[in-house]
Amino acid sequence: MIKKIAYLLFFTILAASCTMNKSDKTNDKTDNDSLQSFGEMYMLVGTYTSNEGSKGIYLYKFDTDTGTSDSLSMVEVANPSYLVISPDEKFVYSVGENGPEESYAHSFSFDKGNNRLTLLNSQLTHGSSPAYITLDAKGNNVITANYGGGSISQFNVNRDGTLSPLTNLFQFTGSGRDSTRQQKPHLHSVRYSPDGMYLFATDLGTDKIYRYKSVHSVFEGQPALLQSDTAVFMTPAGTGPRHFDFHPNGLYFYLLGELSGEVIVYDYNMGDLQQKQIILADTVGARGSADIHVSPNGRFLYASNRLEADGIAIFKIDSQDGTLTKVGYQSTAKHPRNFAITPNGKFLLVAGRDDNVIQVYSIDKETGLLTDTHQDIVINKPVCIKFTKLN
């Protein structure tokens, strides 16, 4: 009899664990991850260099436990306004956000032993003003979003980390409701889904989100994206899709509209997006919303606004359905075009482009609210912040 009761108890517990809500299981994991200590990390900063005193990409050491930093080195390159680090952390890739004949994707070796980046080679994007750059999960292909060119550029990554000449150019057409900002396509960001199966691209100029199926085994010259497996998701007219982020549990997709100042919440499932909520991040109608990130523990979402009332809108994420509730607003330095959250979720760093400073804010783990630590990093025209391990 005792043995029978023990078996029944075992299978009852097993059944309960198997029926546990998927998002609860994932949120438990992300909460535990957020408690890890990452200690000192490298911080890479991309800047605008045109007549502003900055010279390229700057490398720092940043302590994710204390919020302090030390300057290490710099590599010269024109307008490296967005960066991405290779999966093995041996290489860094940046855009060169310039005019039609001078827009590049750049590759750099990353020598951690000597705290130094070295330019390896540069390739023309054949689309002006690239504003975003990403890599596939294996580090085999670099993709840029070309704002001025209204296009996406693909480059193969060679074994030595250098970039091949342009492999494929995806050119877009169309316009949007705003006769000033949406006269033509303006591709603003490109990112792979968490499972690496799809690449999403936002077009500020036509209010569209494009989705491409990713090709996992790419040979030289072969497209990294399947144009035969493409989906287009329309956003409300005048949204101006800019940046987006996925929830750590992979179930939700958050889009920030530069023109509307709204965050649009979607359910995400195997490449499909289903809109479920729209909520304002910019309540003054400045039409300059910029960057968006979910905290590593999946509990909070942050969105930056520029041009008026510059700052960060703070939202709490519902653990059951991913919807948002606004809980605060933090004023910041001027023009927070980009910000980054440390992997341990302890600090949020704001790149205040027009005040020539990176501000370091501590994150309240219970409320998500921000407090200025006054550990500013003075740097000319910072516009992109990335973290990676020291070793």
pLDDT for res 230:
92
**DSSP assigned state of 77:** -
Q: Taking a C-beta distance cutoff of 8 angstroms, is the pair 359, 312 a contact?
A: no
Provide the mean pLDDT of the chain.
91
Three-state secondary-structure class, residue 287: coil
Tell whether the model's pLDDT for residue 152 goes beyond 90: yes
Tell whether the model's pLDDT for residue 387 goes beyond 50: yes
pLDDT for res 218:
54
With respect to CATH, is domain 30-389 assigned 2.130.10.10?
Answer: yes
Alpha-carbon distance of 302 to 281, in angstroms, equals: 9
Tell whether the model's pLDDT for residue 219 goes beyond 80: no
- What value does the mean pLDDT take over residues 166-183? 96
Domain ranges in the chain are: 30-389
Alpha-carbon distance of 196 to 384, in angstroms, equals: 23
Q: Please state the length of the chain.
A: 391
Task: Give the residue among 318, 311, 316, 281 at the shortest CA–CA distance from 301.
Answer: 316
Alpha-carbon distance of 19 to 356, in angstroms, equals: 51
Alpha-carbon distance of 76 to 124, in angstroms, equals: 17
pLDDT for res 229:
83
- What value does the mean pLDDT take over residues 173-179? 97
What are all long-range contacts of 158-163, with beta carbons under 8 Å and residues at least 24 apart? 160/120, 161/86, 161/90, 161/91, 161/107, 161/109, 161/120, 162/107, 162/120, 162/121, 163/93, 163/105, 163/106, 163/107, 163/121, 163/122, 163/123
Tell whether the model's pLDDT for residue 28 goes beyond 50: no
pLDDT for res 156:
94
- What value does the mean pLDDT take over residues 359-388? 98
